[in-house]
Structure 1
Amino acid sequence: MTSKLVWVAALFTLVSCTKQAVDNSPLNYVNPLIGTAPAATISAINHGHGTENNAQVIPSVTVPLGMTNWTPQTRATETKCVAPYYYNDSTINGFRGTHWLSGSCVQDYGSMSIMPLSGKLKCGTLERASAFTHNEEESTPYNYRVTLSDYNIQVEMTATRRCGMFRFKYVNEGEAHIVVNPNSDEGEGFTQILPRQNEIIGYNPVHRIYQGWGEKAGFSGYFVARFSHGFTNYGTYQDEDVFEHVTRISDLKNLGGFASFYVNKNEVIEVCIGTSFTSIEQARKNLDAEIGAKTFNEIKSDLKNTWESILNKVQVEGENEDDKTKFYTALYHAFLQPRTFNDVDGSYVSFSGGDKILNSGDRNYYVDFSMWDTYRASHPLFNLLMPNENTDMMYSLIDKAKQGGWLPIFPCWSSYTSAMIGDHAITTLADACIKNVIELNDEAYSYLLKNAFETPEDFAEYKNGKGRRALESYKKYGFVPLEDEVKESFHQQEQVSRTLEYAFDDFALSQVALKRGDNTNHELLTQRAFNYKNVYSAADSCVRGRYIDGRFTDEFNKLTRMPYITEGTPWQYTWYVPHDINGLMELMGGQEGFNNNLDNFHAAKQYWHGNEPGHQIPFLYNFSGEPWKTQKLVTEIMKQEYDSSVGGLSGNDDAGQMSAWYVFAAMGFYPVCPSVPEYVISGPHFDKITINQDNGNTLKIYAPGASSGKNYIQAYSINDKNVANNFLSHSDIVNGGILKFQMSDTPNKNWGREKNARPFSLSK
């Protein structure tokens, strides 16, 4: 009897420990639905933009950085600023293989949808839609499940890097159908039924709709859908016109194909879908290579293990469970873009409308860089946690330059674009180079210099997105004057913001020149890095539009949007001098003037966390002797602008930048100035953080009490050596070791105040 009780107790302990281990898995804290509902955060209320103030993310089932993401589809369009899924929608009309730029306001492209039905065949996306409830919806990075109530069908999906796999369980016996269609808003596309192979194939031509011109991008999204069940009927359709046993249809609006079956009660039909940007045959090869004979559960398990491995690169411990949900969901969102473009054998269509099929060899080739956003924190996060993948991303940028002749500014849809401002591919490459993640050879370096100093002679190439906008004005005057309205750009005017961003990009390139021993360009670019001063109005303590003759414009209100500022106000952009905060401080009359201006800025509720240009602002008090204010601000932003509800993101996530900000803030440091291998310290928000790095080194961060409200730094040490500086070097992280923070719920106004404690700045 006693031994039996011991055995039962041991079994109970084993089960409890196993359950605890499972519950502590970072995957259990990821909620892909966060950000799919309207936000009610401060930024969303004061400055909100985008459809219904959603963060424009979707519940993607995907491999990190995958080619095609899989999502429930509540809106069947590739229209700009309309994501495939919104939490507040009440019906699902398909399940999409999507190339949506996560958290963005660009348009989807090359996508396709699949929808199961029972009873009467209904092909149009509105007609076939089914009600669903969130009570019967489960979303994880590796699996999505939902019940389509109108049809009593249980849907489950999982994925590989280039393929999706679906299980459709038909609860009711009888007539069943599966509809497949390309999501073309252009009245284009192709679908073919291959009944002997149990396949439906097709493609959706890609258009660069976001730029407003709608040109063809020169490639398509191809798919091969393979069914586990033979067809009892099949055909194609256009709108609600059904063409039974007609196997091909193309270049019409709302076209697609269907397969019909007779199913028994609770019968399951599985569909595997291979995708490619190269050809239907390559989509089939991807399908055979990545899924082949594997079962649904095997694919799901593989994807689960992949996410488990990548999320475990950062292990956090603390009292607040909601914070873990926010952290690991942010990490998930940060790892969705850029996108794998090559097939399993390395094949991909050359950049910018090229008709060549190239090969990436033993590395992946990436597209869809939301560069205006992601250079700030996303790519620095990759340099820390995914340096091998970021290496491939950086060489993908260089490959685009080799294929198109210019380093791209904002490469989406495998195309040049002038979608945003700045030249931040330079900064992103510089950051990876300075942190020794990549090596830039002479050819690669020449493309960076070309962007900084040359403008395409062919106007058509310039209009198409090659080269910096308004570079000639910038070089001639040291700023972009208001007379140059930058008409050949999706974002026109915005002259002050361009000046500020080019000055920073010039600084980043100067660091590469310095590392390479190119003293001539280092000195020239360093001087250009001070161009931000040319649009600063001392009378206003703020940046302001300026004419060629030096006059500042009368069109000025520092609190409201101005046409010479990008997506913000002059006061918000004033702080965009990440490379020379000390120089900006001097313009404002020194440390006291800088702090007063920054205090007034926050008191006026000007800080807008929902958009990227200000993401460095909360950390700037570290430069001006008041780092406790940074610690307070970062804590408030993490609490007010992020939460664990479905409306928990305050603005467009923009390919993971909003989420990467949170990851850095939670770890306690932030890359204010990419291309400088240092981080500004703001203090950890977990009691213990373990960063497991690809080089085999581990960094452990201890901050007892941080998760329960002790968010002010009293002291900190690196490998038991006390440090007064309020910055952390990149080498301190990658070399591994132990950081210890002494935290409190009250500020220590003496820590980090020394002048030599300030992080890097161009002006000494």
Structure 2
Amino acid sequence: MNYKKILFTLLLPFGSMAQKQPADYVNPLIGSAPSTTESAKKHSEAGSEMKGQIVPAIGVPQGMTSWTPQTRATELKCIPPFYYNDTKIQGFRGTHWMNGSCVQDYGSVTIMPMSGKLNVNTTDRGSDFDRKTETVKPSYYQVTLKKGNIKAEMTALSRAGFLQFTFSQNQENYIVVEPNSDEGEGFVEIHPEKNEIVGCNPVHRIYQGVGKPAGFSGYFVIQFDQAFTDFGVWKNNEITSKITKAQGNGQKQAVGAYAQFGTQLVKVRIGTSFTSLEGARKNLEGEINHWDFSKTRQASNNAWNKALGKIQVKGSEYDKTLFYSALYHAKLTPRVFSDIDGTYTGFADDDNIYQAKGFDYYEDYNLWDTYRAVHPLHTLLEPKVTADMMQSLVKKAEQGTWLPIFPCWNNYTAAMIGDHATAAIGDAYIKGIKGFDIKTAYQFMRKNAFEVNADQKSYEEGKGRRALASYLQYNYIPLQDSVWQAFHKREQVSRTLEYAYDDFVLAQIAEKLGEKGDYEVLMKRSKNYQNVIDPKTGYARGRYANGTWIKNFDPFAQRSSFITEGSPAQYTFYVPQDVDGLIKHIGGEKRFIEKLDTLFDQGYYWHGNEPNNQIVYLYPFANQAWKTQEKVRQIIREEYDISAGGMSGNEDGGQMSAWLVFSMMGYYPVCPGTPNYIIGSPTFEETTLNLPNGKTFKIIAKGNSAKTPYIQSATLNGKPFTQNFLTHQQIMAGGILNLKMSSRKSL
């Protein structure tokens, strides 16, 4: 992606230049403080779930490296580099944090300005700041550090950042550079003749292969616009002047470098790479080959306006902030992983350097979360990005021999359950995305679904479906089958339900590719949900190998060992591929509605956890669409706001925000892998999609307000429209969906 050209790209139509642009509405701080929603307080099962786990990511959509103020130094699991409630800034970090996650940052580097006494200790050097001096936008961050009265500014493109610091005095001004290696393996080298500091931060794994080297590093080349008056390095806070190199000894030894300056304004530009220092230098030269800070800031801002402007909305200023902030958050991961020339390091144990030809190579897929709405949103708005993301998954499979389940840090993990690379690839293919190798993808998806990985070592590394042998033997995973080679070690019912869904998606691909035999087998397996949903109780329930159901069963228990991060009642509704069949299986529409109502009306629904996200859109399947319309509006207002705590639980790679984007537009992809979006209740008076094929699709909600959530009637392109869903083809064909809104329920 060439961001040098974006500066000169005309923005999509959004009114005159005097009007606010989409990026102007974004508040990157949403989700960076503990959640204030009742759902998060009631259902949280871990401390991290009470936080959106979001950092203000400054850069461009899907950028390799984002930049954020740092308030926490660690790269430990579940600790992001920024918390809104922290009171001191320790520096400004080039981060690869997966926004909204409970994983770890990796390969990062931090830069901190200071005046007077040089202090390299990460905690001690932290400075108080006043939020009144803070400006936070997707393309720009500014704050005044009270310690030394230093104005700090930063902006960034995909692989390169640009910082500038305005000191209040002309002497004893320092800039400290620290690779954030928790293992103490960081490296720095100073080239004073080039006004340059380079280095790297080796990446280590968690989950599968915890603590082992990931096989690559975060490399950085930092250039300054002027000569140093002094320079040096440190190890474990011991500073040595005029020394040009420092290498950590692997014993959690902190290392870093510093440079001293004799002027008030110092500009800093940084190239980053996952392949080499040479790659970082090329990335910097290719994206920022000048010292004009405002030029880079404008290019970044234009990139965001181009991406966000693909959806235009008419409504309140508050709702525009809510909407565009969510759209921004949904466009941060997966991240570009390849260098500007296409080079990238091989996946997992493959140490080769590859060339991505005709596509960008992506990494960091929160697939258990993001297949639901993030990837469908990319598919709708960014077909080329989607094609590149899917081709990246194919390349990972080729290099690692198995299709990854939850690929992060360019490695396999078995961090979550399911096999949702299949869901993401299948949804893209069924919706007509071209530009990736679907035939090769199918062979690896099929391998995951049909082959038990008998090689214990590679299975432990995360290759292959967990517990597939018993799933194939019993058509469900019995309670006796624990999965010790995964982060989630039991959760047999949830695994069964998710595999049944993945099998359905794979069946759709098989049918389209003419694989009739596979299609028939997979469609039969897609009914396996019936084997773990007890028709007597009407709830998902643990089952032993002999067919008996677990006793002492509470469908609303939040700690059931056979359920993933939720309750049996919540997971009962995880049958997106066959909602009509589920209704019949548990006793008909009346009982289905009663169970849905119980979930919502008695407070058992947990919006902050992803398996719940589609539930509110299931009422139309039982002919009560008005309840979806009513409750979607309620969830939007109760679970989201524009404050720093305005997100219900972890963001999880953009999923919570992507749900909001779709829901505020008025529809949601309940079952990715099919071309249908279930209609809800749009927030805006008017929503326009500027589609990648040059057409527009508009939803006009006549009489829309907070008091009129119900759809009384609809027309599509002037003709009566009575469906409870839109198809992808209908949207891509362009046109106008006119909705007549009312305060009366449409029964």
1:180 partnered with 2:174: no
Q: Partners in 1 of 2:171 and 2:48 — Cα distance? A: 40
Cα deviation digits, residues 381-412 of structure 1 (max 9, x gap): 01101111001000100111111111100000
Q: 1:64 is matched with which residue?
A: 61
Q: Partners in 2 of 1:480 and 1:708 — Cα distance? A: 45
Q: 1:724 is matched with which residue?
A: 722
Q: 2:521 aligns with which of 501, 521, 524?
A: 524
Q: 2:254 is matched with which residue?
A: 254
- What is the CA distance between 1:746 and its match in structure 2? 2.1
**Structure 1 counterpart of 2:669, which letter?**
P
Q: 1:9 is matched with which residue?
A: none
1:333-482 correspondence runs (5 A): 333-438=329-434, 440-482=437-479
Cα deviation digits, residues 331-371 of structure 1 (max 9, x gap): 00000010101001111001003210100023200000000
Query: Is residue 131–residue 148 contact of structure 1 (8 Å, CA) maintained in 2?
Result: yes
Q: Secondary structure at the match of 1:714?
A: strand
Q: 1:202 aligns with which of 165, 177, 199?
A: 199
- What is the CA distance between 1:47 and its match in structure 2? 1.3
1:41-440 correspondence runs (5 A): 41-48=37-44, 49-51=46-48, 53-211=50-208, 213-252=210-249, 253-263=253-263, 267-318=264-315, 320-438=316-434, 440=437
Q: Secondary structure at the match of 1:174?
A: coil
- What is the CA distance between 1:172 and its match in structure 2? 2.5
**Structure 1 counterpart of 2:545, which letter?**
I
- What is the CA distance between 1:490 and its match in structure 2? 1.2
Cα deviation digits, residues 676-700 of structure 1 (max 9, x gap): 1011000211001110011101111
Q: 2:553 aligns with which of 556, 577, 584?
A: 556
- What is the CA distance between 1:215 and its match in structure 2? 1.4
Aligned-pair identity (%): 51
Q: 1:752 is matched with which residue?
A: none
Q: Secondary structure at the match of 1:703?
A: strand
**Structure 2 counterpart of 1:644, which letter?**
I
Query: Is residue 50–residue 652 contact of structure 1 (8 Å, CA) maintained in 2?
Result: no
- What is the CA distance between 1:214 and its match in structure 2? 1.4
Q: Partners in 1 of 2:149 and 2:292 — Cα distance? A: 24
Q: Partners in 1 of 2:257 and 2:478 — Cα distance? A: 55
Larger mean CA deviation between 389-398 and 49-58 belongs to 49-58
> Cα gap change, 1:696/1:39 in structure 2, threshold over 3 Å: closer, same or farther?
same
Q: Partners in 2 of 1:441 and 1:311 — Cα distance? A: 29
Unmatched segments (≥5 aa) in structure 2 = 1-13
Q: 2:656 is matched with which residue?
A: 658
Larger mean CA deviation between 449-458 and 269-278 belongs to 449-458
**Structure 2 counterpart of 1:135, which letter?**
K
- What is the CA distance between 1:22 and its match in structure 2? 3.6
Query: Is residue 80–residue 210 contact of structure 1 (8 Å, CA) maintained in 2?
Result: no
- What is the CA distance between 1:134 and its match in structure 2? 1.0
- What is the CA distance between 1:603 and its match in structure 2? 2.2
Q: Partners in 2 of 1:549 and 1:440 — Cα distance? A: 42
Q: Secondary structure at the match of 2:341?
A: coil
Cα deviation digits, residues 27-69 of structure 1 (max 9, x gap): 1210001111111112111113443822001111011001001
Q: Partners in 1 of 2:475 and 2:581 — Cα distance? A: 17
Q: 1:614 is matched with which residue?
A: 612
**Structure 1 counterpart of 2:156, which letter?**
A
Q: 1:4 is matched with which residue?
A: none
Q: 2:685 is matched with which residue?
A: 687
Q: Partners in 2 of 1:448 and 1:664 — Cα distance? A: 28
Query: Is residue 668–residue 684 contact of structure 1 (8 Å, CA) maintained in 2?
Result: yes
Q: Partners in 1 of 2:676 and 2:47 — Cα distance? A: 34
**Structure 2 counterpart of 1:679, which letter?**
Y
Alignment TM-score, normalising by the size of structure 1 = 0.94
Q: Partners in 1 of 2:669 and 2:275 — Cα distance? A: 37
Larger mean CA deviation between 210-219 and 352-361 belongs to 210-219
- What is the CA distance between 1:726 and its match in structure 2? 0.7
Cα deviation digits, residues 131-162 of structure 1 (max 9, x gap): 01211111000000000011100000000110
- What is the CA distance between 1:211 and its match in structure 2? 4.5
Q: 1:577 is matched with which residue?
A: 575
Q: Partners in 2 of 1:404 and 1:646 — Cα distance? A: 40
> Cα gap change, 1:212/1:47 in structure 2, threshold over 3 Å: closer, same or farther?
farther
Cα deviation digits, residues 207-254 of structure 1 (max 9, x gap): 112457211110000001101121111111022200111111112411
Q: Partners in 2 of 1:571 and 1:312 — Cα distance? A: 39
Q: 1:757 is matched with which residue?
A: none
Q: 2:694 is matched with which residue?
A: 696
Q: Partners in 2 of 1:39 and 1:141 — Cα distance? A: 21
1:500-515 correspondence runs (5 A): 500-515=497-512
- What is the CA distance between 1:413 and its match in structure 2? 0.2
Alignment TM-score, normalising by the size of structure 2 = 0.96
Q: Partners in 1 of 2:359 and 2:672 — Cα distance? A: 25
- What is the CA distance between 1:442 and its match in structure 2? 3.0
Query: Is residue 274–residue 283 contact of structure 1 (8 Å, CA) maintained in 2?
Result: yes
Larger mean CA deviation between 534-543 and 571-580 belongs to 534-543
Q: Partners in 2 of 1:23 and 1:73 — Cα distance? A: 33
Q: Secondary structure at the match of 1:634?
A: helix
Query: Is residue 433–residue 440 contact of structure 1 (8 Å, CA) maintained in 2?
Result: no
Q: Secondary structure at the match of 1:209?
A: coil
Q: Partners in 2 of 1:630 and 1:708 — Cα distance? A: 15
Q: Partners in 2 of 1:501 and 1:162 — Cα distance? A: 36
> Cα gap change, 1:512/1:141 in structure 2, threshold over 3 Å: closer, same or farther?
same
- What is the CA distance between 1:106 and its match in structure 2? 0.4
- What is the CA distance between 1:94 and its match in structure 2? 0.8
Q: 2:5 is matched with which residue?
A: none
Q: Partners in 2 of 1:590 and 1:610 — Cα distance? A: 28
Q: 2:596 aligns with which of 573, 598, 610?
A: 598
Structure 1 outlier segments of 4+, above 4 Å: 18-21
- What is the CA distance between 1:742 and its match in structure 2? 0.5
Q: Partners in 2 of 1:434 and 1:555 — Cα distance? A: 42
Q: Partners in 2 of 1:512 and 1:20 — Cα distance? A: 45
Query: Is residue 276–residue 283 contact of structure 1 (8 Å, CA) maintained in 2?
Result: yes
- What is the CA distance between 1:288 and its match in structure 2? 1.1
Q: 2:10 is matched with which residue?
A: none
Q: Secondary structure at the match of 1:673?
A: coil
Q: Partners in 2 of 1:708 and 1:537 — Cα distance? A: 39
> Cα gap change, 1:402/1:607 in structure 2, threshold over 3 Å: closer, same or farther?
same
- What is the CA distance between 1:20 and its match in structure 2? 7.4
Larger mean CA deviation between 522-531 and 289-298 belongs to 289-298
**Structure 2 counterpart of 1:257, which letter?**
A
RMSD of the alignment, in Å? Answer: 1.3
Q: Partners in 1 of 2:191 and 2:286 — Cα distance? A: 20
Q: Secondary structure at the match of 2:325?
A: helix
- What is the CA distance between 1:441 and its match in structure 2? 4.1
